[in-house]
């Protein structure tokens, strides 16, 4: 496998926009607009599954948005790289339980899966960024150095 891609402001902004849309979809899907009251007592298992997945999915997206906001703060100069490495780590979340996920309707199940895939993408980015030594120049810094060398010759 090659060198991990560096994280840059364009990547973070694109992911941030995607996270906001996904978060809004999650909020709409799991809004408590009388859904639990309308369910009958025989649907306890489905209610528990819905509640668990609502909590797990909204928490997953809140952590994803927080991770992205930390990176935005870093790129705007409000956080140092040390602070970002120390406090900006993306939390691990277990995947949804398939038995509970099966009790949700199709669109909600797809949304939960989409948030899991999104979180996994952020996790890969975070892991790749953390593997890079803080002393190692970023891809942009390395490119600037190579351009500077070419201009001097």
Q: Which residue has the tokens 């994280």?
A: 7
| Residue 108's CATH number | 1.10.8.930
User: Residue 1 falls within a domain, yes or no?
Assistant: no
pLDDT, mean of residues 97-121? 92
The 10s digit of each residue's pLDDT in 13-34 is 999 999 999 999 999 998 865 5
Our count of domains for the chain comes to 1
User: Residue 3 falls within a domain, yes or no?
Assistant: no
User: Residue 31 falls within a domain, yes or no?
Assistant: yes
Residue 32: what pLDDT? 63
User: Residue 24 falls within a domain, yes or no?
Assistant: yes
Which of 90 and 42 is assigned the larger pLDDT?
A: 90
User: Residue 45 falls within a domain, yes or no?
Assistant: yes
97 has a pLDDT exceeding 70 = yes
Domain with 76, as residue range(s), is: 9-152
The 10s digit of each residue's pLDDT in 118-134 is 999 999 999 988 887 66
User: Residue 4 falls within a domain, yes or no?
Assistant: no
User: Residue 2 falls within a domain, yes or no?
Assistant: no
Residue 135: what pLDDT? 61
1 has a pLDDT exceeding 50 = no
Lowest mean pLDDT among 10-14, 33-37, 55-59, 104-108: 33-37
Mean pLDDT of the chain: 84
Residue 4: what pLDDT? 46
54-83 burial by CB neighbour count: b if 16+ within 10 A, else e? bebbbebbebbbebbebbbebbeeebeeee
């Amino acid at each position: 496998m090659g060198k991990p891609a560096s994280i840059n402001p364009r990547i973070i902004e694109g992911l941030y926009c995607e996270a906001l849309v996904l978060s809004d979809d999650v909020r709409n899907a799991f809004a408590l607009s009388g859904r639990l009251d309308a369910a009958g007592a025989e649907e306890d298992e489905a209610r528990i599954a819905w509640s668990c997945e609502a909590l797990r999915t909204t928490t997953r997206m809140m952590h994803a948005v927080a991770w992205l906001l930390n990176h935005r703060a870093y790129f705007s100069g409000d956080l140092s790289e040390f602070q970002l490495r120390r406090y900006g780590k993306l939390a691990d979340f277990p995947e949804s339980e398939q038995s509970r996920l099966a009790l949700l309707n199709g669109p909600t199940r797809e949304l939960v899966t989409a948030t899991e895939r999104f979180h996994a993408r952020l996790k890969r980015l975070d892991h790749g960024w953390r593997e890079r030594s803080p002393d190692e120049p970023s891809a942009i810094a390395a490119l600037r150095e190579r351009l500077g060398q070419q201009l001097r010759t």
